Structure 1
Amino acid sequence: MSTLLETLPPARPAELHAISIAKNIAGEHVLATTVGRGQAAITLAETRPEAKVSLWFHDQYQQQLL
């Protein structure tokens, strides 16, 4: 069974940059924003199952695609 992240189109450059930066920052409470599809937040939630990850969409159209 594929994960949500695997079903999404490739991440935009901003999401890839956020993922590369965020993976080196410690934290159990994460508030993420996105102009894309939230791949950075999804990645953090999947790699830190004990963390509470909240995602704020700036583009409601992208949110509806999930």
Structure 2
Amino acid sequence: MLIKRLEQEAQRLGYRSLYLTTEDAKDLYAKADWQEIEYVRTPYGEAALMTKALTQADEDCVK
């Protein structure tokens, strides 16, 4: 899955957490264990601000 690969690469580069905004894919990211922080206004309208903490367990999923 592309989301998981992005998380793994970010962790490999030393990031401890990721953030994103999404106008219409909140459920997709929630299924990948991203947490909604709040709603924000973007140039495109209302969006969910989400975060994902990167942990050692995420790295163990890399094969």
Give TM-score, length-normalised by structure 1.
0.30
* Bigger-Rg structure (1/2): 2
Q: Which has the higher helix share?
A: 1
Query: TM-score if structure 2 supplies the norm length?
Result: 0.31
Q: Say which structure, 1 or 2, has more relative contact order (CA 8 Å, 6+ apart).
A: 2
